Structure 1
Amino acid sequence: MNIFETLEISCKDGYSLSGRFYPKQNPSQNNYPVLICPATGITQHFYHAFAEWLATQGYDVLSFDFRGIGRSLHGPVSKSEASIVSWGQLDIPAAIDTLLCKTQAEQVILLGHSAGGQLLGIVPNYQKVAKVIAVSGSTGHVKGLKGKTKLLAPVMFNVIFPLARITKGYGPTQAIGMGENLPKDVAKQWAQFCSKPGYVMNAVGKTVFEDYHAEIDCPITVLWSSDDEIATSANVKDLLRLYPKAQTKMIELKPKSYEHKAIGHMLMFKKSHQNLWPVIEQQLAV
């Protein structure tokens, strides 16, 4: 028996996304519904165990695949016209409206993982978001990276992606253990956005002409780990500075404090790290 309902999310441009709706298991609890926005190249299935658990805590939950990824990829990835900008301008707004329609709530909590928590500033219906919890959320600026990622990212962005765009027609992230292969423009924008401070702000005036960062005043909390090589303290601060009106908060988790060897950029949603889930859930209260 599935504890989730498969949904089709229709975007403003007619593109169809695949989603999963997890109804809350405790109807007496009156919480805002939670929209899980995935990381770059990560599918909704990755968040299944966490979404299932969150539903038992009294939250309606919607997860989905961004266009060009997982079940929201229609046809060969080399033919996909998806971009990170389209994720923020079209996919997230449609997912917000779908969740509100499904639950009859007035606002959602946006629980974003990495890129999923970095795009609110270009989401046109941002007023429908009561609060943002950005897990491993940052700008990913290459100069703020650390460890092996600081060495590997420039190679991926400046060598692998440009060559693969010509030879394969997509970003071959699957081969290097970084989720699903990426549509060419997703890979290109990822490299561009991380090359300078400010992430998606680097597209303003080029591919983004409606920028809402300065208007957003909902609370924004970033949860990141001290061993995260991408969402470092510097890169988390770089993200939060983009929202001058918002009340922002940074919460650093240290693996040893929770009896883990590592948390990094990806492990907070894993069953092996479910003792971190109540820490995330605690931040959902508005």
Structure 2
Amino acid sequence: MQEEQVSIPGPGGRLAGRLIAVPDPRLAVVINAATGVPAGFYASFARWLAEDRHAAVLVWDYRDFAASGNPRRSRATMADWGVHDAAAARDWLAARLPGLPLWVIGHSLGGLALPFQPGLEGIARAVIVAAGPVHLSDHPWPLRLGIASTWWGHGPLLTAAFGYLPGRRLFLGADIPGPAYWQWRRWCAHRGSCLSDPAMPPLASETLTCPVTLVALADDGMVPPVAVWRLADWMPKAAVTRRLIAPADHGLATLGHIAAFAGRNRAVWPALVA
């Protein structure tokens, strides 16, 4: 297996990525990360996928985040990340490996924004994991209290004070650019989510006609299954399959919103892409 650090030209600057590939791959896969999750988190899954599907897999970081830069003075929005950067990464991989079927695996934001991206007709298959338009009322108690504070309590106060959401200090993972936080908050605080956001481009999903697998995780309180299933309405021309994964069915105690891609949970990986 080969691993190559790559630099992808994006609309807001260079995007740092890693291309993980077997010799003579038969498939190209781009993994679009969840909000605040560095690309390195997906590397073990990408290596497994490269071997299992004889693929070349691109993991990459959104602009001004992780290996692609500093979020603390960034003007990047969620739309920049999920629509424009993701399209640039996909186009780069398609140009690097022309002629190969192209898969998109989107986790949370990386899947939610897919129907807004240009060039969807070039995708052979999409796997969308733990992604969907979610509202505060969808979250179970007591998680709902913490999320409410993220949108109406400590979240806006700290973001206004620092200019970015200090996720590291809050044990929420990584720091998030201020503009991305405010747009994220707007999506999750209103039932229309990003579909009603005037800063988002119109849906391009009429051109998304490939098979799409929506994967919901039964114990995910951040984006519960009911929110994942809503995303199907944004993909009217796609052949959508819904898949509910329960941790116990794979000998696991929990998965939650993020950990399906963690190396310790590799038992669930075949089900994600089946």
Q: TM-score, normalised by structure 1?
A: 0.89
Name 2:33's counterpart in structure 1.
Answer: 38
| Aligned partners of 2:8 and 2:88 also within 8 Å | yes
Name 2:55's counterpart in structure 1.
Answer: 59
Rounded Cα–Cα distance in structure 1 between residues aligned with 2:12 and 2:51: 33
1:117-156 to structure 2, matched below 5 A, reads: 117-156=111-150
Gaps of 5+ in 2: none
Give the superposition deviation at 1:165.
2.5
* TM-superposition CA deviations, 1:52-111 (whole Å, max 9, x none): 11111201100100112101124xx33101111111332011101111122113552110
Question: Pick from 192, 196, 205: which aligns with 2:190?
Answer: 196
Name 1:230's counterpart in structure 2.
Answer: 222
Question: Pick from 19, 22, 27: which aligns with 1:21?
Answer: 19
Rounded Cα–Cα distance in structure 1 between residues aligned with 2:143 and 2:204: 30
Residues 33 and 81 of structure 1: CA distance in aligned 2, closer, same or farther (over 3 Å): same
1:144-223 to structure 2, matched below 5 A, reads: 144-203=138-197, 206-223=198-215
1:242 aligns with 2:234: yes
Matched residue SS, 1:66: coil
Rounded Cα–Cα distance in structure 2 between residues aligned with 1:92 and 1:248: 21
1:105 aligns with 2:78: no
Following TM superposition, the consecutive aligned residue runs of length 4 or more in structure 1 with deviations greater than 6 angstroms are none
Name 2:269's counterpart in structure 1.
Answer: 277
RMSD of aligned C-alpha atoms? Answer: 1.8
* TM-superposition CA deviations, 1:155-182 (whole Å, max 9, x none): 1012223212221010122223322110
| Aligned partners of 1:37 and 1:110 also within 8 Å | yes
Give the superposition deviation at 1:281.
3.1
Percent identity over the alignment?
26
Matched residue SS, 2:252: coil
Give the superposition deviation at 1:262.
0.5
Matched length: 273
Gaps of 5+ in 1: none
Matched residue SS, 2:124: strand
Give the superposition deviation at 1:193.
0.8
1:73 aligns with 2:69: yes
